[in-house]
Amino acid sequence: MLFPYFFMYNKGKGRNCMDYLDLRASLDFVDRASRYRFHMPGHKGQLRHHWADLTELPGLDNLHHPKGVLARSQQRVADIYQAERTYYLVNGSSVGLMAAVCALAGPGDKVLVERNCHRAVIAGLIHSGATPEFVDPHFCPQRRVWLPLTVSAIESKMAARSFKAAIFTNPNYFGLVAELKDLIKHCREQGMFVIIDEAHGAHLHFGQGLDLPPDGVAAGAQIVVQSAHKTLFARTQAAWMHLTDAALGERLAETLNLFHTTSPSYPLLASLEHAAVVACRHGFTLLKRLRLLSALLVRSCSRHGLECWRGHDWTRFVLRERPGMIRMLTNAGIYPELVQNNNVLFMLTMADALSPTAAAALNRTLAKLAELPAAELPRVLPPPPVEQVCSPREAWLAPGKKIELNKAQGRICRELLAPYPPGTLVAGPGQRLDQATHEYLVMLSSRKVIPEWIEVI
């Protein structure tokens, strides 16, 4: 359920805030006016929860060429985030990342890519024809997670060749944040475009002064893609893309239209406007409350002897797994976001500050979790470095063959092998499966997180 809409009809004005729900009002008007419908969608408004499931009728604009209510709504979100333009995305952040890569790079171009990128970045490279140069961030064996990139990690790559663009993830799934301003400054001084996959950071802008890191727009990236549905009050799949360089606007919009559905969901679009209004009006207050909840959970863990940690983004709360922990959480009705490498990740959002029921349930359960015996955890290693033999596009278009993973050593991968969640790359199109990578993939297959048969060339 979306955040109660009565919050939004408060006419109080705030700096860079929307004064009213423009798109919502237009949808309400057309929804009431079109009593007899001879247009899509097929349910004709007769579903119980059909609200605003309309098509591009007069008064509702067109997402592919917005000039009315959608154009105004998107620009207001851009003003909130202090970007030049904002584009609504109804295919998640994935469509924004693919469009951004294709808009900025093409065949023959080199793109600097963080190794633990999302699979949508690889999809963008396949479509664009650009060739990636992967940078391996350091892996923390104690916390069993990738650490953020540093400037020193990319300097050697940039000294050896020139790049058209760079793609960084900020924050990562566990709330760890790079030296973002320094990374972006270093890249832009070399004439590179910078794309930030900030799918997990749409809330950061509203927490300045609350020990949250700056977002990609404030750090100076040209394109920042955020999943509003992950951390704000938006429906699943609803995202947006911010642009800080207006000169790229036409090219980016044209490329986005190649990937976007021609049947955008108006409930998703309305939820984006809604999410921006909630965050603008109430985000700071809700995040301030949330910081207290987050600190309370950390203190409770310490009191009960449970090992936990938080990233630079303190809305991510991580418990070290113990045998039986997931079963006990599930029995209590508590479902974490992710369990990976014996880390149990809990996402706290503004919704938890508005209604702290879930956080209270977790806090009560911590004492029971502490009764579980701790166990020695198996060693966890990151994916080994991998050789890029050809561009992802060349590999994708080459004739392929499906073979057993056990027999794939030495072959060139044709598909994306990226366990989800979080969807980070282990091996992808155009990469040679050497002995180390092959052994790592076999281990993942034994855990049923990648298939036993893969596509190779």
> Which pair of structure tokens corresponds to residue 29?
């008007």
| Most confident option among 48-57, 265-274, 352-361 | 265-274
296-332 per-position pLDDT tens digit: 999 999 999 999 999 999 999 999 999 999 999 988 8
pLDDT confidence bin for 66, thresholds 50/70/90: very high
Q: Compute the mean pLDDT over every residue in the chain, rounded to the nearest whole number.
A: 90
In angstroms, the CA 241 to CA 223 distance is 7
Q: Give CA–CA dist 344/329, Å, rounded.
A: 11
CA distance 172 to 126: 23
Question: The CATH number of 387-456 is which of 3.40.228.10, 3.40.50.970, 3.40.350.10, 3.90.100.10?
Answer: 3.90.100.10
More confidently predicted of 384 and 5: 384
Which residue did the predictor score with more confidence, 394 or 35? Answer: 394
Kindly report the CA angle at 273 between 353 and 33, in degrees rounded to 5? 125
Q: How much is the pLDDT for 13?
A: 45
Confidence of residue 414 (pLDDT cuts 50, 70, 90): very high
Please state which of the four CATH numbers 1.20.1440.230, 3.40.50.720, 3.40.50.980, 3.90.1150.10 is assigned to the domain occupying 283-370.
3.90.1150.10
Answer whether residue 185 shows pLDDT above 60: yes
- pLDDT-based confidence at residue 449 (cuts at 50, 70, 90): confident
* 19 pLDDT tier (thresholds 50, 70, 90): low
pLDDT of residue 4: 37
Smallest CA-to-CA distance from 187 within 112, 103, 96, 107 is with 112
Strands (E), 160-205: 165-169, 193-197
Residue-wise pLDDT for 125-178, tens only, equals 999 999 999 999 898 988 999 999 999 999 989 988 899 999 999 999 999 999
Report which of residues 362 and 20 the model is more confident about.
362
Local confidence band at 1 (pLDDT 50, 70, 90 cut-offs): very low
- In the chain, the percentage of residues whose pLDDT exceeds 70 is 91
Separation CA 213–CA 267 (nearest Å): 31
Residue 402 has pLDDT above 80, yes or no: yes
Convert the pLDDT of each residue in 81-124 to its tens digit. 999 999 999 999 999 999 999 999 999 999 999 988 999 999 99
| Model pLDDT, residue 135 | 93
Higher pLDDT, 224 or 340: 224
Residue range 271-291, pLDDT digits in tens: 999 999 999 999 999 999 999
Taking the C-alpha atoms of residue 214 and residue 181, their distance in angstroms, rounded to an integer, is 9
Euclidean distance between CA atoms 319 and 331, whole angstroms: 17
Contacts of 450 (CB under 8 A, 6+ apart): 405, 417, 419, 426, 441, 444
Domain range 22-281, its CATH number among 3.10.129.10, 3.40.640.10, 3.40.50.360, 3.40.50.720: 3.40.640.10
Is the confidence at residue 353, as pLDDT, over 60? yes
DSSP letters of 195-223?
Answer: EEE-TT-TTGGGGTTTTPPP-HHHHT-SE
Distance between CA 131 and CA 134 in Å, rounded? Answer: 10
For the chain, the domains span 22-281, 283-370, 387-456
Query: Region 370-384: what's the mean pLDDT?
Result: 88
Pairing mode, strands 85-89 and 145-146: unpaired
If pLDDT is split at 50, 70 and 90, which confidence band does 381 have?
Answer: confident
Global pTM value: 0.89
